[in-house]
Structure 1
Amino acid sequence: MGVFPEDYVIHVSYLIRLWVAEGFLKPITPKSLEEVAKEYLEDLIDRNLKMVRERSYSGELRTCSIHDLIRDLIVRKAQEEKFLHVMNQKVEISPEIIKNHRRLSIHGEIRFDVGDMYDSTVRSLLHLADSLLSVNICFPSLRVLDARNITFNKFPIEIVQLVNLRYIALIYTGKRKIPASISKLCNLQTSLA
Protein backbone atom coordinates (compact mmCIF):
# COMPACT_ATOMS: atom_id res chain seq x y z
CA MET A 1 0.00 0.00 0.00
CA GLY A 2 2.97 2.29 0.44
CA VAL A 3 3.57 2.55 -3.30
CA PHE A 4 0.71 5.01 -3.65
CA PRO A 5 1.10 8.75 -2.96
CA GLU A 6 -0.71 10.44 -0.08
CA ASP A 7 -4.46 10.82 -0.60
CA TYR A 8 -4.32 8.62 -3.70
CA VAL A 9 -7.63 7.05 -4.67
CA ILE A 10 -6.87 3.39 -5.36
CA HIS A 11 -9.07 1.51 -7.81
CA VAL A 12 -9.67 -1.95 -6.39
CA SER A 13 -9.36 -3.68 -9.78
CA TYR A 14 -5.93 -2.07 -10.26
CA LEU A 15 -4.79 -3.05 -6.76
CA ILE A 16 -5.89 -6.65 -7.31
CA ARG A 17 -3.98 -6.87 -10.62
CA LEU A 18 -0.85 -5.59 -8.86
CA TRP A 19 -1.22 -8.08 -6.00
CA VAL A 20 -1.67 -10.97 -8.45
CA ALA A 21 1.34 -9.91 -10.56
CA GLU A 22 3.49 -9.56 -7.44
CA GLY A 23 2.49 -13.04 -6.29
CA PHE A 24 1.12 -11.75 -2.97
CA LEU A 25 -2.04 -13.85 -3.28
CA LYS A 26 -2.22 -17.60 -2.99
CA PRO A 27 -5.22 -19.49 -4.37
CA ILE A 28 -7.69 -20.89 -1.88
CA THR A 29 -9.80 -23.60 -3.45
CA PRO A 30 -12.47 -23.06 -4.81
CA LYS A 31 -12.03 -19.24 -4.76
CA SER A 32 -10.39 -17.20 -7.50
CA LEU A 33 -7.47 -14.91 -6.72
CA GLU A 34 -9.81 -11.96 -7.22
CA GLU A 35 -12.20 -13.29 -4.58
CA VAL A 36 -9.32 -13.87 -2.16
CA ALA A 37 -8.06 -10.32 -2.77
CA LYS A 38 -11.50 -8.82 -2.14
CA GLU A 39 -11.72 -10.72 1.16
CA TYR A 40 -8.29 -9.38 2.17
CA LEU A 41 -9.38 -5.84 1.31
CA GLU A 42 -12.58 -6.14 3.31
CA ASP A 43 -10.55 -7.47 6.24
CA LEU A 44 -8.22 -4.44 6.04
CA ILE A 45 -11.26 -2.16 5.96
CA ASP A 46 -12.79 -3.92 8.97
CA ARG A 47 -9.54 -3.31 10.85
CA ASN A 48 -9.62 0.38 9.85
CA LEU A 49 -6.36 0.07 7.93
CA LYS A 50 -8.02 1.15 4.67
CA MET A 51 -10.77 3.64 3.99
CA VAL A 52 -13.63 3.03 1.59
CA ARG A 53 -13.91 5.80 -1.00
CA GLU A 54 -16.60 4.34 -3.26
CA ARG A 55 -18.82 1.28 -3.44
CA SER A 56 -21.09 0.16 -6.25
CA TYR A 57 -24.87 0.07 -5.80
CA SER A 58 -24.55 -3.62 -4.99
CA GLY A 59 -22.08 -2.86 -2.20
CA GLU A 60 -18.96 -4.00 -4.06
CA LEU A 61 -15.81 -2.03 -3.25
CA ARG A 62 -14.68 0.17 -6.17
CA THR A 63 -12.10 2.54 -4.70
CA CYS A 64 -10.27 2.88 -1.42
CA SER A 65 -7.44 4.83 0.16
CA ILE A 66 -5.16 4.67 3.13
CA HIS A 67 -4.83 7.14 6.00
CA ASP A 68 -1.71 9.34 5.74
CA LEU A 69 -0.31 8.30 9.13
CA ILE A 70 -0.67 4.61 8.35
CA ARG A 71 0.88 5.17 4.92
CA ASP A 72 3.87 6.95 6.49
CA LEU A 73 4.39 4.05 8.89
CA ILE A 74 4.14 1.52 6.05
CA VAL A 75 6.62 3.42 3.86
CA ARG A 76 9.10 3.84 6.70
CA LYS A 77 8.98 0.15 7.63
CA ALA A 78 9.11 -0.98 3.97
CA GLN A 79 12.18 1.16 3.31
CA GLU A 80 13.92 -0.17 6.45
CA GLU A 81 13.37 -3.73 5.22
CA LYS A 82 14.37 -2.80 1.65
CA PHE A 83 10.97 -4.00 0.47
CA LEU A 84 10.06 -0.67 -1.15
CA HIS A 85 11.69 2.65 -1.89
CA VAL A 86 9.42 5.65 -2.52
CA MET A 87 10.74 8.71 -4.31
CA ASN A 88 8.51 11.75 -4.13
CA GLN A 89 10.76 14.55 -5.27
CA LYS A 90 13.14 15.37 -8.09
CA VAL A 91 16.10 13.11 -7.36
CA GLU A 92 18.81 11.06 -8.93
CA ILE A 93 18.49 7.39 -8.08
CA SER A 94 21.65 6.06 -6.48
CA PRO A 95 23.08 2.68 -7.49
CA GLU A 96 22.59 1.49 -3.89
CA ILE A 97 18.82 2.03 -4.10
CA ILE A 98 18.61 0.25 -7.44
CA LYS A 99 20.65 -2.71 -6.25
CA ASN A 100 19.08 -3.16 -2.83
CA HIS A 101 15.33 -2.54 -3.17
CA ARG A 102 12.75 -4.86 -4.72
CA ARG A 103 10.17 -2.18 -5.49
CA LEU A 104 10.48 1.43 -6.63
CA SER A 105 7.56 3.82 -6.52
CA ILE A 106 8.25 7.13 -8.19
CA HIS A 107 6.12 10.18 -7.44
CA GLY A 108 8.42 12.79 -9.02
CA GLU A 109 11.05 13.29 -11.72
CA ILE A 110 14.01 10.93 -11.67
CA ARG A 111 17.35 10.39 -13.32
CA PHE A 112 19.52 7.30 -13.19
CA ASP A 113 22.49 5.71 -14.90
CA VAL A 114 21.42 2.82 -17.12
CA GLY A 115 24.63 0.94 -16.34
CA ASP A 116 23.59 0.63 -12.70
CA MET A 117 20.45 -1.34 -13.49
CA TYR A 118 21.74 -4.59 -14.91
CA ASP A 119 22.53 -6.18 -11.57
CA SER A 120 19.58 -4.68 -9.72
CA THR A 121 17.02 -6.63 -7.72
CA VAL A 122 14.12 -4.33 -8.64
CA ARG A 123 11.01 -6.44 -9.29
CA SER A 124 8.42 -3.65 -9.49
CA LEU A 125 8.61 -0.16 -10.93
CA LEU A 126 5.60 2.11 -10.53
CA HIS A 127 5.96 5.58 -11.99
CA LEU A 128 2.96 7.43 -10.59
CA ALA A 129 3.94 11.00 -11.53
CA ASP A 130 2.84 12.69 -14.74
CA SER A 131 5.79 12.91 -17.08
CA LEU A 132 6.69 13.42 -20.70
CA LEU A 133 10.17 12.12 -20.04
CA SER A 134 11.34 8.88 -21.56
CA VAL A 135 12.65 6.51 -18.93
CA ASN A 136 14.95 3.66 -19.83
CA ILE A 137 13.26 0.53 -18.51
CA CYS A 138 15.83 -2.22 -18.48
CA PHE A 139 15.65 -3.76 -15.04
CA PRO A 140 16.31 -7.44 -15.86
CA SER A 141 14.21 -8.94 -13.03
CA LEU A 142 11.21 -6.65 -13.48
CA ARG A 143 7.80 -8.29 -12.97
CA VAL A 144 5.58 -5.22 -12.63
CA LEU A 145 5.93 -2.10 -14.74
CA ASP A 146 3.41 0.68 -14.38
CA ALA A 147 4.46 3.63 -16.50
CA ARG A 148 0.99 4.93 -17.43
CA ASN A 149 1.95 8.45 -16.47
CA ILE A 150 4.85 8.57 -18.91
CA THR A 151 3.99 9.30 -22.53
CA PHE A 152 6.17 7.25 -24.87
CA ASN A 153 6.45 8.65 -28.41
CA LYS A 154 8.67 5.73 -29.37
CA PHE A 155 7.88 2.23 -28.11
CA PRO A 156 10.48 1.28 -25.46
CA ILE A 157 11.78 -1.83 -27.23
CA GLU A 158 13.77 -2.92 -24.16
CA ILE A 159 10.44 -4.04 -22.68
CA VAL A 160 10.45 -7.16 -24.89
CA GLN A 161 13.62 -8.30 -23.10
CA LEU A 162 11.90 -8.28 -19.70
CA VAL A 163 11.00 -11.98 -19.75
CA ASN A 164 9.79 -12.00 -16.13
CA LEU A 165 7.25 -9.25 -16.75
CA ARG A 166 3.76 -10.14 -15.49
CA TYR A 167 2.11 -6.71 -15.56
CA ILE A 168 2.68 -3.78 -17.88
CA ALA A 169 0.84 -0.49 -18.17
CA LEU A 170 2.04 2.35 -20.38
CA ILE A 171 0.87 5.05 -22.79
CA TYR A 172 2.30 4.79 -26.27
CA THR A 173 1.40 7.56 -28.71
CA GLY A 174 3.75 6.62 -31.54
CA LYS A 175 2.67 6.10 -35.13
CA ARG A 176 4.09 2.59 -35.36
CA LYS A 177 2.31 -0.46 -34.01
CA ILE A 178 3.42 -2.20 -30.86
CA PRO A 179 6.03 -4.72 -32.08
CA ALA A 180 5.00 -8.35 -32.50
CA SER A 181 8.01 -9.31 -30.37
CA ILE A 182 5.92 -8.32 -27.33
CA SER A 183 4.48 -11.84 -27.63
CA LYS A 184 7.81 -13.12 -26.24
CA LEU A 185 6.61 -12.04 -22.82
CA CYS A 186 5.10 -15.40 -21.94
CA ASN A 187 4.61 -14.56 -18.23
CA LEU A 188 2.48 -11.49 -18.97
CA GLN A 189 -0.83 -11.60 -17.12
CA THR A 190 -2.01 -8.02 -17.56
CA SER A 191 -1.14 -5.45 -20.17
CA LEU A 192 -2.57 -1.99 -20.71
CA ALA A 193 -1.02 -0.11 -23.60
Structure 2
Amino acid sequence: MDPTHDNWKKVEENLNSFLGFPEDMEISISKLIRLWIAEQFVKERSNKRLEVVAEEYLEELIDKSLILAGKQRANGRMRSCKIHDLLRQLCLREAHTETVVHFMNENVPMSSEAIYDQRRVIVPSKLQHVRFYPTRHSSGITSMTRTFATTKDNYIKMQTSSIVSQFKLLKVLDVLLVWKDFSCIIPQLVHLRYVAANIEKAFSLDKLRNLETIILVKT
Protein backbone atom coordinates (compact mmCIF):
# COMPACT_ATOMS: atom_id res chain seq x y z
CA MET A 1 0.00 0.00 0.00
CA ASP A 2 2.23 2.78 -1.28
CA PRO A 3 0.93 6.15 0.04
CA THR A 4 1.31 7.87 -3.33
CA HIS A 5 -0.89 8.45 -6.37
CA ASP A 6 -4.12 6.41 -6.37
CA ASN A 7 -3.23 4.40 -3.28
CA TRP A 8 -2.98 7.49 -1.06
CA LYS A 9 -6.78 7.76 -1.14
CA LYS A 10 -7.01 4.33 0.48
CA VAL A 11 -4.47 5.34 3.14
CA GLU A 12 -6.41 8.55 3.78
CA GLU A 13 -9.72 6.69 4.18
CA ASN A 14 -8.19 4.26 6.64
CA LEU A 15 -6.60 7.08 8.65
CA ASN A 16 -9.83 9.09 8.73
CA SER A 17 -11.53 6.15 10.42
CA PHE A 18 -9.32 6.81 13.47
CA LEU A 19 -11.12 10.13 13.98
CA GLY A 20 -14.10 8.24 15.38
CA PHE A 21 -12.04 7.41 18.48
CA PRO A 22 -11.11 9.87 21.26
CA GLU A 23 -7.69 11.50 21.13
CA ASP A 24 -4.88 9.49 22.83
CA MET A 25 -7.14 6.45 23.16
CA GLU A 26 -5.77 2.93 22.80
CA ILE A 27 -7.86 1.69 19.87
CA SER A 28 -9.05 -1.90 19.78
CA ILE A 29 -7.62 -3.62 16.70
CA SER A 30 -10.56 -6.02 16.43
CA LYS A 31 -13.10 -3.18 16.46
CA LEU A 32 -11.09 -1.11 14.00
CA ILE A 33 -10.90 -4.02 11.56
CA ARG A 34 -14.65 -4.68 11.81
CA LEU A 35 -15.31 -1.00 11.07
CA TRP A 36 -12.94 -0.99 8.08
CA ILE A 37 -14.68 -4.03 6.63
CA ALA A 38 -18.14 -2.57 7.28
CA GLU A 39 -17.22 0.66 5.48
CA GLN A 40 -15.81 -1.47 2.65
CA PHE A 41 -12.32 0.01 2.84
CA VAL A 42 -10.79 -3.46 2.71
CA LYS A 43 -10.40 -5.05 -0.71
CA GLU A 44 -9.68 -8.70 -1.44
CA ARG A 45 -6.06 -9.78 -1.84
CA SER A 46 -5.01 -13.18 -3.18
CA ASN A 47 -8.11 -14.97 -1.84
CA LYS A 48 -7.26 -13.96 1.74
CA ARG A 49 -9.98 -13.33 4.30
CA LEU A 50 -10.84 -9.65 4.66
CA GLU A 51 -9.76 -9.72 8.32
CA VAL A 52 -6.29 -10.85 7.26
CA VAL A 53 -6.07 -8.16 4.58
CA ALA A 54 -7.17 -5.52 7.11
CA GLU A 55 -4.39 -6.61 9.47
CA GLU A 56 -1.94 -6.23 6.59
CA TYR A 57 -3.26 -2.70 5.96
CA LEU A 58 -2.65 -1.86 9.61
CA GLU A 59 0.83 -3.39 9.65
CA GLU A 60 1.73 -1.31 6.59
CA LEU A 61 0.50 1.87 8.29
CA ILE A 62 2.61 1.00 11.35
CA ASP A 63 5.66 0.19 9.20
CA LYS A 64 5.35 3.65 7.62
CA SER A 65 5.17 5.20 11.13
CA LEU A 66 1.69 6.56 10.47
CA ILE A 67 0.18 4.53 13.32
CA LEU A 68 1.70 3.53 16.68
CA ALA A 69 1.58 -0.09 17.78
CA GLY A 70 -0.03 -0.54 21.20
CA LYS A 71 -0.55 -3.52 23.48
CA GLN A 72 0.00 -7.09 22.33
CA ARG A 73 -1.90 -10.30 22.97
CA ALA A 74 -0.31 -13.34 24.58
CA ASN A 75 0.24 -14.82 21.10
CA GLY A 76 2.20 -11.75 20.00
CA ARG A 77 -0.53 -10.29 17.78
CA MET A 78 -1.54 -6.67 18.22
CA ARG A 79 -4.38 -5.87 20.62
CA SER A 80 -4.44 -2.09 20.21
CA CYS A 81 -2.90 0.87 18.40
CA LYS A 82 -2.82 4.68 18.49
CA ILE A 83 -2.56 7.51 15.98
CA HIS A 84 0.11 10.21 16.25
CA ASP A 85 -1.30 13.49 17.61
CA LEU A 86 0.12 15.52 14.72
CA LEU A 87 -1.22 13.08 12.15
CA ARG A 88 -4.62 13.18 13.83
CA GLN A 89 -4.67 16.97 13.54
CA LEU A 90 -3.73 16.70 9.86
CA CYS A 91 -6.52 14.19 9.25
CA LEU A 92 -8.99 16.47 11.04
CA ARG A 93 -8.00 19.42 8.89
CA GLU A 94 -8.22 17.43 5.67
CA ALA A 95 -11.50 15.79 6.69
CA HIS A 96 -13.13 19.18 7.30
CA THR A 97 -11.79 20.51 4.01
CA GLU A 98 -13.13 17.58 2.00
CA THR A 99 -16.41 17.31 3.97
CA VAL A 100 -15.89 13.62 4.72
CA VAL A 101 -16.20 13.89 8.51
CA HIS A 102 -18.48 16.16 10.51
CA PHE A 103 -18.09 16.62 14.27
CA MET A 104 -21.28 17.77 15.95
CA ASN A 105 -21.04 21.01 17.92
CA GLU A 106 -23.56 21.92 20.60
CA ASN A 107 -23.03 25.62 19.87
CA VAL A 108 -24.18 25.29 16.26
CA PRO A 109 -27.79 24.41 15.32
CA MET A 110 -27.86 21.29 13.18
CA SER A 111 -30.13 20.56 10.25
CA SER A 112 -30.30 17.46 8.10
CA GLU A 113 -29.37 19.58 5.08
CA ALA A 114 -26.17 20.69 6.82
CA ILE A 115 -24.87 17.14 7.22
CA TYR A 116 -26.44 15.15 4.38
CA ASP A 117 -23.26 15.23 2.27
CA GLN A 118 -20.90 14.21 5.12
CA ARG A 119 -19.58 10.65 4.83
CA ARG A 120 -19.13 10.35 8.61
CA VAL A 121 -20.93 12.11 11.44
CA ILE A 122 -19.15 11.91 14.80
CA VAL A 123 -20.58 12.94 18.17
CA PRO A 124 -17.67 14.06 20.42
CA SER A 125 -17.36 12.57 23.90
CA LYS A 126 -18.23 15.76 25.81
CA LEU A 127 -21.27 16.74 23.74
CA GLN A 128 -24.51 16.59 25.72
CA HIS A 129 -26.92 18.87 23.89
CA VAL A 130 -27.33 19.67 20.23
CA ARG A 131 -30.07 21.56 18.46
CA PHE A 132 -31.20 19.49 15.52
CA TYR A 133 -33.88 20.76 13.15
CA PRO A 134 -35.15 18.47 10.38
CA THR A 135 -35.90 20.85 7.53
CA ARG A 136 -38.96 20.95 5.32
CA HIS A 137 -36.83 19.50 2.52
CA SER A 138 -35.49 16.63 4.63
CA SER A 139 -37.80 13.98 3.24
CA GLY A 140 -36.44 14.58 -0.24
CA ILE A 141 -32.78 14.27 0.71
CA THR A 142 -30.79 11.08 0.29
CA SER A 143 -28.05 11.44 2.86
CA MET A 144 -24.52 10.51 1.85
CA THR A 145 -23.64 9.62 5.44
CA ARG A 146 -22.28 6.10 5.82
CA THR A 147 -21.14 6.22 9.46
CA PHE A 148 -22.75 7.68 12.58
CA ALA A 149 -20.68 7.17 15.72
CA THR A 150 -20.25 8.43 19.24
CA THR A 151 -16.98 8.47 21.13
CA LYS A 152 -16.10 7.39 24.66
CA ASP A 153 -18.37 8.12 27.64
CA ASN A 154 -21.06 9.90 25.68
CA TYR A 155 -24.41 10.43 27.37
CA ILE A 156 -25.89 12.87 24.90
CA LYS A 157 -29.35 14.25 25.43
CA MET A 158 -30.64 14.90 21.95
CA GLN A 159 -33.06 13.62 19.35
CA THR A 160 -30.66 10.95 18.18
CA SER A 161 -33.35 8.98 16.38
CA SER A 162 -34.36 12.09 14.42
CA ILE A 163 -30.81 12.41 13.18
CA VAL A 164 -30.06 8.76 12.46
CA SER A 165 -33.36 8.20 10.64
CA GLN A 166 -32.18 10.65 7.96
CA PHE A 167 -29.23 8.43 7.03
CA LYS A 168 -30.91 5.94 4.72
CA LEU A 169 -27.61 4.62 3.32
CA LEU A 170 -25.94 4.19 6.71
CA LYS A 171 -23.49 1.28 6.95
CA VAL A 172 -22.10 1.83 10.46
CA LEU A 173 -24.16 2.77 13.52
CA ASP A 174 -21.85 2.85 16.54
CA VAL A 175 -23.94 4.32 19.38
CA LEU A 176 -23.56 1.83 22.22
CA LEU A 177 -22.68 4.65 24.63
CA VAL A 178 -25.87 6.57 23.86
CA TRP A 179 -28.55 5.72 26.40
CA LYS A 180 -31.36 5.76 23.88
CA ASP A 181 -33.57 3.02 22.44
CA PHE A 182 -32.69 2.28 18.80
CA SER A 183 -34.97 -0.73 18.35
CA CYS A 184 -37.37 1.17 16.07
CA ILE A 185 -34.64 2.80 13.99
CA ILE A 186 -32.28 -0.10 13.25
CA PRO A 187 -34.72 -2.17 11.11
CA GLN A 188 -35.19 0.85 8.81
CA LEU A 189 -31.47 1.08 8.01
CA VAL A 190 -31.32 -1.79 5.55
CA HIS A 191 -27.75 -1.07 4.41
CA LEU A 192 -26.24 -1.52 7.88
CA ARG A 193 -23.13 -3.68 8.09
CA TYR A 194 -22.09 -2.80 11.64
CA VAL A 195 -24.38 -1.87 14.54
CA ALA A 196 -23.63 -1.37 18.23
CA ALA A 197 -26.58 0.09 20.14
CA ASN A 198 -28.95 -0.10 23.08
CA ILE A 199 -32.46 -1.46 22.58
CA GLU A 200 -35.55 -1.85 24.74
CA LYS A 201 -37.28 -4.56 22.73
CA ALA A 202 -36.49 -7.26 20.21
CA PHE A 203 -36.96 -6.63 16.50
CA SER A 204 -36.68 -8.49 13.21
CA LEU A 205 -33.36 -8.65 11.37
CA ASP A 206 -34.96 -9.95 8.16
CA LYS A 207 -34.29 -6.77 6.17
CA LEU A 208 -30.73 -6.34 7.43
CA ARG A 209 -29.17 -8.72 4.94
CA ASN A 210 -25.82 -6.92 4.81
CA LEU A 211 -25.24 -7.06 8.57
CA GLU A 212 -21.80 -8.40 9.55
CA THR A 213 -21.36 -7.20 13.14
CA ILE A 214 -24.20 -6.79 15.63
CA ILE A 215 -23.73 -5.69 19.25
CA LEU A 216 -27.03 -5.03 21.03
CA VAL A 217 -27.57 -4.37 24.74
CA LYS A 218 -31.07 -4.53 26.21
CA THR A 219 -31.75 -1.62 28.55
Instruction: Give the TM interval when normalised to the shorter protein.
Output: 0.7 to 0.9
Return the structure number with greater strand share: 1
CA positional deviation for 1:43? 1.0
Match of 1:158 among 185, 209, 213: 185
- Report the equivalent of 2:110: 93
Match of 1:149 among 158, 170, 177: 177
Identity across aligned pairs (percent)? 39
Alignment of 1:27-176 (within 5 A): 27-87=44-104, 91-107=108-124, 108-109=127-128, 110-115=130-135, 118=139, 119=141, 120-129=143-152, 130-131=154-155, 133=157, 135-136=160-161, 137-138=164-165, 139-152=167-180, 154-172=181-199, 174=200
* CA 1:85–1:155: 2 relative to 1, 3 Å: closer
CA positional deviation for 1:113? 2.2
CA positional deviation for 1:50? 0.9
* CA 1:91–1:128: 2 relative to 1, 3 Å: farther
- Report the equivalent of 2:30: 13
Runs of 4+ aligned structure 1 residues displaced above 3 Å come to 87-92, 94-97, 114-118
Q: Is the 8 A contact 2:187 2:205 kept in 1?
A: yes
Separation in structure 2 between the aligned mates of residue 145 and residue 89 of structure 1, nearest angstrom: 20
Match of 2:208 among 175, 179, 185: 185
SS at match of 1:36: helix
Q: Structure 1: where are the runs of 5+ without partners?
A: none
SS at match of 2:20: coil
Separation in structure 1 between the aligned mates of residue 213 and residue 189 of structure 2, nearest angstrom: 14
Q: Structure 2: where are the runs of 5+ without partners?
A: 1-17
